[in-house]
Amino acid sequence: MPRFFQYLLAILLLSSAVTSVADSDVESLQSLLNKGDYASVISQIKDIDKKTIEHFQLLIAAYAEKDLDDAEDAAEQAIEAFPNEYEVYLQHASIMGAQASDSVFSALGYAKKALNSLNKAVELAPENATTLSALMTFYIAAPSIAGGDLEEAQKLVLRIKEVDPTEGQFAEARFLRSDDKPEEAEALLLELAQDSNAESHASFRAFRELGNLYSAQEDYDKAITYLQKASDVEIAKPPLDADEEASDEYESMLSQQAYATYAIGRTAIESKSHNQEGVAALTRYISIIENAQYSIAGLPSADWAKLRMTELQLNMDDGEGATATFDSIEVENDKNFEKIYKKLKRKL
């Protein structure tokens, strides 16, 4: 159950990215969020009487990094303030996914809330590929007891294809994986990887999905090969006169690429090999996070990357490097983080 919610959360966070706006106040707050200064974002927004939807998006994103209960309260306030905007329901669903992954006993209740918000988002934006894909992802990833339903997911694949053919192909590939047809999913993704249309980002996304597919199959050599392709591909930058939607899409792709880079390190640990590739990828990831000019909310922190890197360096018998990396870590208030941290500390 927790693994499902972690997977769902990753999808929803990418689907509920903060909207870019040409407002100096919001841009300043966005800059603080990008830098990871969540406390400043919270202190500057929480007491604003008439918050805009962008204020709520930033506030919720900041709270999500500090306290999920506060993020949940803010997400519910956003729904009260903007009941007809689909974005607030997507972000609410993402917080419900985070709460579910953090609470075994309340997971089903949070899953129900996430599903309700996703259905409302689709009701408000029935021809939006993002809302349809988020709901489809819930249906294919959730166990039936939590609301999973492959028949409903398949119906949504058809709807997504009508709205956006390329997005529909990615949706179909995810559905085929969930329907125990990995070979068909692989064939479709390999076809998408040949897409030369830079604006669609199809090849990058296909590389990333292939990496995930092979990792799930424990074919780690192929997984790292395709995750490396996703990490290395150049994301086409929109022209200066591009609209906000294109700019948001570009930043979303950069965020997804950063996660693919992190995934190389995580996959190297799972493979019990590829240690050098993993260390190189995590070193690059830390640099990306520390210098990002876009929102890093929802991405693993630099300290998580250092934790993973320590493990890889120990696997390489690089005790000196592992100690140096470990000593630079700031412990996070996260049960899983603390568990891994203590385990590695005993090994050093």
Q: Residue 73 is part of a domain; what is its CATH number?
A: 1.25.40
CA-based nearest residue to 226, from 202, 205, 207, 203 = 207
Nearest 5°: the CA angle 117, 12, 199 is 125
- The answer to whether position 211 is within a domain reads no
Does the predicted TM-score (pTM) go above 0.85? no
- The answer to whether position 97 is within a domain reads yes
35 Cβ contact partners less than 8 Å away, ≥ 6 residues apart: none
Yes or no: say if 5 and 101 are a contact pair by the CB < 8 Å rule: yes
- 348 residues of the chain, pLDDT tens digit each: 344 444 454 555 445 455 544 455 877 888 888 777 889 999 999 888 899 998 999 999 889 888 899 999 999 999 999 999 999 999 999 899 888 877 767 888 998 999 999 999 999 999 999 999 999 999 998 888 888 899 999 999 999 999 999 999 999 999 999 999 999 999 999 999 987 665 668 899 999 999 999 998 999 999 999 999 999 988 888 887 877 777 778 888 898 899 999 999 999 999 988 999 999 999 999 999 988 877 777 788 899 999 999 999 999 999 999 999 999 999 987 788 999 999 999 999
- The answer to whether position 205 is within a domain reads no
Which tokens belong to 38? 């969540």
Buried b (16+ CB within 10 A) or exposed e, 119-144: bbbbebbeebbbbbbbbbbbbbbbee
- The answer to whether position 52 is within a domain reads yes
- The answer to whether position 256 is within a domain reads no
Burial of residue 234 (CB within 10 Å: 0-12, 13-18, 19+) is exposed
Cα–Cα distance between 100 and 110 in angstroms, integer? 5
Tally of domains within the chain: 1
- The answer to whether position 333 is within a domain reads no
Cα–Cα distance between 32 and 245 in angstroms, integer? 21
192 Cβ contact partners less than 8 Å away, ≥ 6 residues apart: 166, 169, 170, 173, 202, 203, 205, 206
- The answer to whether position 57 is within a domain reads yes
Show the domain range for 78: 1-127
- The answer to whether position 236 is within a domain reads no
